[in-house]
Every structure is written in C-alpha cells, then in structure tokens.
C-alpha cells in the first residue's frame, strides 16, 4: 500500500500517460479499463487509480472492501464490492450514497477493484 499523497502523484502521472517506474502492471490495467469505459473522465480514472493503490482489500472469494476517501466525496469509512454469480459487480454506495438511480453506473470503488484484479492477472505472467 502507498501513502495517499504519493498515490495521488502516481495516479496523476498514469492518467496523463506517464507510467512511473515499477507500476507497469497498473498502467496496463488502467489502459484496459479506459478501453472498457471510454466515456469516463480523467478524474474518474484518477480516483479509481488512487483507490486501487491505497484502499482495496479482498475479504472473500467475491467480496472486497474499499476504504472511503472523504476528499473523493465518500461519507462512509468502508464500501463493500461484490461480484455476483452472473459476473455483475455491485457496490453498496449505490444504495447508501446515490440512491437507486445510480445503480446502472459503475462507481470508482468497483473500478479500483477491477484495477487491482487486473494487475494481479498481469503480474502472473
Ligand atoms: Zn461504490
């Protein structure tokens, strides 16, 4: 895990296309995520990358906990992300923070989990 200010510096570079030394697998994971969600903003990817560096913890086979970051608008200390049997990611911020109307959106808690998972796969090579 990386310190918050350092994570922000790393994330700022990655979204600008500058890959810091030692973060090759995260940069690859970011490129894939951006390819998957081309309409998302630079700040959305920035938040996802910072979260992936400081706050994602696997707590079960299909369950992750992502620490809330006040600066990113989180009002809770922890968020739960689940992967359903059908392969759909769910986050409890959908219910607690935004209401049901945001249910179809992918949040940066889920995006952070995707970044961590993809780095693990990539680093296995
Ligand atoms: Zn969320």
SS (H, E, C) the chain: CCCHHHHHHHHHHHHCCCCCCCCHHHHHHHHHHHHHCCCCCHHHHHHHHHHHHHCEEEEECCEEEEECCHHHCCCCCEEEEEECCCCCEEECHHHHCCCHHHCCCCCHHHHHHHHHHHHHHHHCC
- The answer to whether residues 113 and 64 touch, using CB atoms and an 8 Å cutoff, is yes
Ligand 1 centroid to Cα of residue 64, in Å, is 11
Ligand 1 centroid to Cα of residue 110, in Å, is 6
Rounded to 10 deg, the angle between the 4-15 and 24-36 helix axes is 60
Ligand 1 centroid to Cα of residue 85, in Å, is 19
Ligand 1 centroid to Cα of residue 77, in Å, is 12
- The answer to whether residues 89 and 110 touch, using CB atoms and an 8 Å cutoff, is yes
Query: Which pLDDT tens digits describe the chain residue by residue (125 residues)?
Result: 789 999 999 999 999 999 999 999 999 999 999 999 999 999 999 999 999 999 999 999 999 999 999 999 998 999 999 999 999 999 998 776 555 555 557 899 999 999 999 987 776 55
Could you give the CA distance from residue 43 to residue 52 in angstroms, rounded to a whole number?
A: 14
Ligand 1 centroid to Cα of residue 20, in Å, is 27
Ligand 1 centroid to Cα of residue 122, in Å, is 24
- pTM for this structure? 0.90
């Amino acid at each position: 895990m990386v310190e918050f200010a350092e994570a922000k510096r790393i994330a700022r570079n990655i979204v600008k296309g500058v890959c810091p030394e030692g973060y090759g697998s995260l940069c690859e994971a970011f490129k894939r995520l951006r390819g998957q969600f081309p309409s998302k903003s630079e700040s959305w990817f920035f938040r996802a990358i910072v979260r992936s560096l400081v706050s994602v913890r696997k707590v079960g086979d299909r369950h992750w906990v992502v620490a809330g970051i006040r600066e990113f608008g989180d009002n809770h200390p922890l968020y739960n992300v689940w992967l359903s049997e059908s392969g759909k990611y769910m986050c409890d911020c959908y219910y607690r923070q935004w209401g049901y109307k945001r249910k179809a959106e992918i949040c940066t808690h889920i995006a952070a989990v995707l970044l961590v998972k993809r780095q693990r796969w990539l680093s296995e090579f």
